[in-house]
Amino acid sequence: MISVKLPNQSSIITVMTKAVVKASKGLLRDFNELENLQVSVKTNETFVTSADLRADKLLRKELSFARPSYAMLTEESGEITGEDPFYKWIIDPLDGTFNYMHGLPHWAISIALKKKGEVVAAVTYDPVKNEMFWAEKGYGAYINDRKIRVSNKNRLSDLLVSVGNLPKVSRSLTQSVRKSGSMTLDMAYLAAGRLDVLYSAPNANEWDIAAGMLLIKEAGGILLDKDGKPISSEKDLAIMTNIGLCSMAPKLVQM
């Protein structure tokens, strides 16, 4: 298990990393005992497991203890008001639930902190691979103790592309394509240079993208709408890539 203390991290990143490490212990235990996992279907026809709910409860407890006045938005509990009008936690206790249910080791825990509507701190933790992706506004993005940057590839034949949650992929996209089942990890991977272009259908859930948006920006990446223009709102987010692919990326898929 990763050390909770990471280099150059602030007190707020310490709070976030401690919370995700604690939540990961129960998730890993349940992941190794999937035959006992209770699964139900939510009103939007997506799955939720007892592991999601336990992790959600623990994260809310840990973050509330550390910053009791902050508001919250979590995938499993919705909006929770706070006394402080400026700060809000955005929490996804288990991104990649369908992967998790099938024993596929590609899922993560994600927390973002918004200040006056802008994400200023982000953590995405992959407990299986023991990789902590984290970033603070103006201070860069990291994986564990190593600073990360988006890739610098710009040739079509070299690209590794993830289509995220897009329902259709253009036939013109002939290079290697992935659809991993975890938008949170896809965004962290793009920040780390493991993916070159990532697509998402607009209006994605805030808890799926909040942390990843800061990771990508702090790693030198670009956030675009479906037409290839810089986003004016997180609801417009459709394309994530490096600056050298800004003109090419919108032409590779049908949004």
- Neighbour tally for 131: CB within 10 Å: 17
- What angle is formed at CA 32 by the lines to CA 30 and CA 38, rounded to 5 degrees? 40
pTM, to two decimals: 0.90
CATH 3.40.190.80 in the chain, residues?
156-251
Residues 97-115: tens digit of each pLDDT: 889 888 899 999 999 999 9
The CATH homologous superfamily for domain 11-148 is Fructose-1,6-Bisphosphatase, subunit A, domain 1 (3.30.540.10)
* CB-facing half-sphere around the CA of 209: CA atoms within 13 A: 23
> How is residue 200 written in tokens?
């998402």
Instruction: Return the DSSP state at 231.
Output: P
- What pLDDT score does 5 carry? 58
Give the separation between CA 242 and CA 22, rounded to whole angstroms: 33
Rounded Cα–Cα distance for residues 166 and 231 (Å): 18
Domain 156-251 falls under CATH 3.40.190.80: yes
Q: Report the chain's C-alpha Rg in angstroms.
A: 17
Structure token digits, residue 195: 């993916």
Cα gap 160→203, rounded to integer Å: 24
Beta carbons of 63 and 72 less than 8 angstroms apart: yes
Q: What is the dihedral of CA 1, 213, 223, 137, to 10 degrees?
A: -100
Residue found under tokens 């298990």 = 1
- pLDDT score at 231: 95
pLDDT at 43: 45
All residue ranges of the chain with pLDDT < 50 are 1, 42-45, 47
Q: Could you report the per-residue pLDDT of 80-101, keeping only the tens digit for each?
A: 999 998 999 999 999 998 898 8
- Furthest-apart CA atoms within the chain: distance in Å: 52
Q: Enumerate the CATH 3.30.540.10 domain ranges in the chain, comma separated.
A: 11-148
